[in-house]
Amino acid sequence: MRRFLYAILLTVIPFFAHSKNDLTFKPVVDTLNNLFTEAMQARKDVQKDSINIEIIETLKDFLHIPSSFDHAIDTLKHLSCLKSSDNALRIYTWNLCYADGSFKYFGFVQQKDHGKINVYALHDRRNRNPQAHQKDLEYYTTSEWFGCIYYECITNNWNSRTYYTLIGWDGADNLINRKVVEVLSFTKRGIPVFEKKMFKVDRVISSRLIFEYADRATMLLRYNEKHKIIVIDHLSPAEDRFKDMPQYYGPDMSYDALEFKGGRWLLESNINPEIAINYQKNALVNRIKRRGVSYDF
């Protein structure tokens, strides 16, 4: 019955959802808020999954309404919503935390293309083995996605193409956290893909960067708009004997950076700390934190 009422609501809304304040979307946002709260409070994994199916269907219907693209949903908790600076892309991500401490991620890409709204689901298909990064690096489509919560979106243009660099967080497990940097673009047919050769680190070119560090540590991975670089906390083990054991890794008070040059991100090691930390932070990240998506950005 509840799903039936959502369907009626979302069918009626398009006829009235053109006002400046878009108050007609409030019932849908309230519904989603209630569903997210239920999912977060559910004790059993099977309950979380059942409620999440309703979240997916309700949000998908909502995103297919053209005017939803410009509707602010800052009141929606437990959901990260990013909008690109060229006003052509919105990306929504959230997760479920299971009883064993693991996470699974969900999301949608909403694209505005010549007035038309395209919606693509993100399917978390990555290998849950922490050592299986080589396979994770090969995920290029929305149907095989390295699941995470995105908290920053950077827009770059090169050779008549637009690239959206996404920075995300993954709770991984009880021992480690991960942070991810990857680049989304659209083919000539309008299909979203994750680019294959966007990062150059020590002459090695890859499709995404994955950083692992201790669960109790906090890693800085943020865009510095003033200097047009992505600032990265350099991670090191607490002691040499813990090398290659990410559960003992954390920031060592030095910083690296990624700079967009020639159509890809190039790593610069050991940058000036003053440049790294003295800049205006993206206020959106703090708003995402306050909405309860995560506190580890």
Domain co-membership, 128 together with 185: yes
Return the pLDDT at 9. Answer: 45
How large is the angle between the packed helices 26-41 and 2-12, nearest 10 degrees?
A: 150
Domain identity same for 193 and 115: yes
pLDDT of residue 255: 97
Instruction: Give the residue among 176, 191, 194, 154 at the shortest CA–CA distance from 235.
Output: 176
Looking at residue 237, its amino acid is P
Q: Are residues 66 and 25 in the same domain?
A: yes
pLDDT given at position 137: 62
Same domain, 127 and 212: yes
Does a structural domain hold residue 296?
Answer: no
| Tokens describing residue 63 | 């995103």
Whether the pLDDT of residue 205 is over 70: the answer is: yes
Instruction: Tell me the backbone φ, ψ of residue 138, rounded to 5 degrees.
Output: -95, 5
Q: Which residues pair with 107 in a beta bridge?
A: 93, 122
228 within a domain of the structure (yes/no): yes
Q: Same structural domain for residues 70 and 88?
A: no
pTM here? Answer: 0.89
What is the DSSP pairing of strand 264-268 with strand 199-201?
parallel
**Quick one: pLDDT at residue 297?**
76
295 within a domain of the structure (yes/no): no
Which residue, 60, 77, 94, sits at the end of a domain?
77
* Tally of domains in the chain: 2
Kindly report the length of the chain.
297
- Same domain assignment for residues 101 and 133: yes
- What is the residue-averaged pLDDT of the chain? 88
pLDDT of 278 reads 74
pLDDT at 10 over 50: no
Mean of the pLDDT values across residues 15-43?
77
Choose the final residue of a domain: 56, 77, 98: 77
Q: Which domain holds residue 53?
A: 1-77
Q: Specify the DSSP class assigned to residue 145.
A: B
Over its C-alpha atoms, the chain yields an Rg (Å, rounded) of: 20
Q: Is the pLDDT of residue 43 over 90?
A: yes
In a shared domain, residues 26 and 46:
yes
For residue 39, count CB atoms less than 10 angstroms from its CB and return exposed for 0-12, middle for 13-18, buried for 19 or more: buried
The CA-based angle 92-28-121, given to 5 degrees, is 30
- State the average pLDDT over residues 207-220: 95
Question: What is residue 281's predicted lDDT score, i.e. its pLDDT?
Answer: 72
Amino acid occupying residue 43: R
How far apart, in Å, are the Cα atoms of 266 and each of 92, 205, 231, 256? 27, 9, 12, 11
**Would residue 200 count as lying in a domain?**
yes
CA 257, 229, 282, 108 torsion: positive or negative? negative
260 or 74: whose pLDDT is higher? 260
The tokens of 214 are what?
């201790």
pLDDT per residue as tens digits for the range 102-141: 899 999 999 999 889 999 999 998 755 555 555 556 778 9
> Looking at residue 24, what is its pLDDT?
72
Highest mean pLDDT among 7-11, 24-28, 219-223, 279-283: 219-223
- For 205-230, what is the mean pLDDT? 94
**φ/ψ of residue 64, rounded to 5:** -80, -10
Strand partners, 179: 169, 211
Mean pLDDT along residues 235-261: 96
Give the residue among 88, 70, 258 at the shortest CA–CA distance from 164: 88
Single out the residue of 178, 200, 206 nearest to residue 269, CA to CA: 200
Beta bridge partners of residue 121, listed in sequence order:
108
213: pLDDT confidence band, cut at 50, 70 and 90?
Answer: very high
Euclidean distance between CA atoms 221 and 296, whole angstroms: 10
Nearest to 126 by CA among 108, 148, 109: 148
Any domain includes 179: yes
Share of the chain above pLDDT 90, in %: 70
Q: What is the pLDDT of residues 142-174, one digit of tens each?
A: 998 999 999 999 999 999 999 999 999 999 888
